[in-house]
Amino acid sequence: MKLFNTLTRYKEDFVSIEEGKVKMYACGPTVYNYFHLGNARPFVTFDTLRRYLEYRGYEVEFCQNFTDIDDKMIKRANEEGVTVKDVAERYIKEYYIDADGLNCKRPTYQPRATESIGAIIGIVKALYDKGIAYVIEGDGVYYDVTKKEDYGKLSHYNLEDLNPGGGERKASYDGKKNPGDFALWKFKKEGEPSWNSPWGEGRPGWHIECSAMIKKHLGDTIDIHGGGQDLIFPHHENEIAQSEAANGCTLANYWVHNAFVNVDGEKMSKSLGNFFTIRDIVKHFPYKVIRFFILSGHYRMPINFSDELLRASQTGLQRISTSASNLKFALSSDSYEGSNEEASKVLDDAVRESVDSFIAHMDDDLNTADAITDIFGLVKAANTAIDSKASKASLKNALDKLTEITDVLGLDIGEDPEEIPEEIMDLVDQRAAAKKEKNFAEADRIRDLITSKGYSVKDTPNGPQVEKI
Ligand SMILES: [Zn+2]
């Protein structure tokens, strides 16, 4: 597999440190609010990368953290008159509702920053003992960016370029040795949660949290570190600086970053106020459509949010689901006779080609956009094959492969027919009986009743076919 590595700016062959195993970390949410579509993109992207690596036979250890202490958390707690922990508990619960809805598999480890204070202090101490960190009285412990020669290697900035010392931000650099120095530990302010440390009571800076949780759960060097592209600088650059200076080895071999979700050409973000939370969007579109929408673009390209594109995603996903139900229905129908050998062979070949092409696209830097086109190729072949009476064995193979590759993308393409409730199946039988007696008014009445209960019934040459709407 090839992955675009932000460090080298090349698509590189992925080679894991330990054969057959992958250690992967992605920066998780700050839990002070519901997450929006822009936040959801990395969750879905790295869940899909993990699923694909597992599909290719790797054992993946995936760690995604919760930032449960920072300025925004404290502000939110003060506004609501509750503790920071209360805010974290509430929004971690809400996070799971949306992340589970989006079909993101639970990461192997999901640590909270506040449960990793020991590991955080350990790294700060290592940096302090090496003379890389220093104390600013009444402020905190800071990282001296000039102490690491290759600082800037991820963002491809150098220290002179960074020089953000002038202008209105100058005041905030008081006491720092260099403008780019950043806080590892912030001394306690009135009304803020705090922990003991060798330098005094306080709380961790944001960047150090990830460095500590990576070390604690995955070790000093990991295979893949992921996140949104807005995290490249300063967050990931600083994670590298801290971890590599403290541990004396590379933090991550591959740095993978997803592009933004845009609204009218601008990045969706809380600060711009142009965001839509997942909780808002699911009032209009199911979670599975949102996931499909996110994966319909390549992860390194911006995607534009609009109702039209979500509607197009819904139609696309529906086409895949319908094809799966048609296959299941033909397979379960006694009246389906699949005796066309030529059609069977055509289908078998098309399925093989679609799956090979799907793998080739996913191998090419997780190109989910083209991989979805391959899924549609399989769908088209399957639909044709049912009409031309391909064998049940070939249909079964097509259904198995369709399920397999849609699972890799975490797409939910519908329920098994046996999951249709008995009450609905009884109504379907009653309607069939009414039709047989040519009582069409009664048949239509029952059909409306079925529709009102959230199911559709369609008459096919192989008998009535029921689907959840
Ligand atoms: Zn991070």
pLDDT value of residue 168: 41
Is residue 443 within 8 Å of 429, Cβ to Cβ? no
What does the pLDDT average to over 432-455?
90
Residue 210 CA to ligand 1 centre (angstroms): 5
pLDDT value of residue 255: 98
Instruction: Take residue 353 and report the two structure tokens written for it.
Output: 């080609």
What residue spans define the domains of the chain? 17-303, 316-415, 420-468
Among residues 13, 4, 21, the alpha carbon closest in space to that of 218 is found at: 21
Task: Give 15: exposed, middle or buried? Use CB within 10 Å, 0-12, 13-18, 19+.
Answer: exposed
- pLDDT of 85 over the 70 cut: yes
Strand arrangement, sheet containing 266-267: 266-267, 261-263, 303-304
Residue 66 CA to ligand 1 centre (angstroms): 10
The three-class DSSP label of residue 23 is strand
Highest-confidence range of 85-94, 280-289, 459-468, by mean pLDDT? 85-94
Residue 295 CA to ligand 1 centre (angstroms): 23
Residue 245 CA to ligand 1 centre (angstroms): 17
For residue 127, how many other CB atoms are within 10 A of its CB?
Answer: 25
Residue 211 CA to ligand 1 centre (angstroms): 7
Asked whether the CA dihedral 260, 261, 266, 268 is positive or negative, the reply is negative
Residues 255-265 have pLDDT tens digits of: 999 999 999 88
Residues 304-361 have pLDDT tens digits of: 999 999 999 999 999 999 999 999 999 999 999 999 999 999 999 999 999 999 999 9
Residues 130-178 have pLDDT tens digits of: 999 999 999 999 999 999 999 999 999 877 766 554 444 444 566 898 8
Residue 77 CA to ligand 1 centre (angstroms): 22
Strand arrangement, sheet containing 182-187: 133-136, 140-143, 182-187, 202-204
What does the pLDDT average to over 182-186?
96
Residue 4 CA to ligand 1 centre (angstroms): 19
Residue 444 CA to ligand 1 centre (angstroms): 58
Does the model's pTM come out above 0.85?
A: yes
Residue 419 CA to ligand 1 centre (angstroms): 41
- pLDDT of 421 over the 90 cut: no
What does the pLDDT average to over 46-50?
98
List of residues 6+ apart from 85 with CB closer than 8 A: 68, 114, 193
Residue 331 CA to ligand 1 centre (angstroms): 48
Residue 63 CA to ligand 1 centre (angstroms): 11
Residues 60-77 have pLDDT tens digits of: 999 999 999 999 999 999
Residue 27 CA to ligand 1 centre (angstroms): 4
Q: Residue 466 — pLDDT band, cuts 50, 70, 90?
A: confident
The three-class DSSP label of residue 11 is strand
pLDDT value of residue 121: 98
pLDDT value of residue 431: 94
What does the pLDDT average to over 429-439?
92
Separation between Cα atoms, residue 204 and residue 133, nearest integer Å: 14
Residue 246 CA to ligand 1 centre (angstroms): 17
- pLDDT of 52 over the 70 cut: yes
Residue 3 CA to ligand 1 centre (angstroms): 20
Residue 466 CA to ligand 1 centre (angstroms): 47
Residue 65 CA to ligand 1 centre (angstroms): 8
Residue 371 CA to ligand 1 centre (angstroms): 29
Residue 193 CA to ligand 1 centre (angstroms): 21
Mean pLDDT of the chain: 93
Residue 69 CA to ligand 1 centre (angstroms): 13
| Assigned CATH for 17-303 | 3.40.50.620
Residue 401 CA to ligand 1 centre (angstroms): 36
List of residues 6+ apart from 430 with CB closer than 8 A: 446
Residue 249 CA to ligand 1 centre (angstroms): 18
Residue 235 CA to ligand 1 centre (angstroms): 6
Percent of the chain with pLDDT over 70: 96
List of residues 6+ apart from 15 with CB closer than 8 A: none
DSSP 273: T
What does the pLDDT average to over 280-308?
94
Q: Bridge partners of 204?
A: 185
pLDDT value of residue 283: 87
Residue 366 CA to ligand 1 centre (angstroms): 22
Residue 381 CA to ligand 1 centre (angstroms): 44
- pLDDT of 195 over the 70 cut: yes
Residue 218 CA to ligand 1 centre (angstroms): 14
Residue 236 CA to ligand 1 centre (angstroms): 6
pLDDT value of residue 31: 97
- pLDDT of 461 over the 80 cut: no
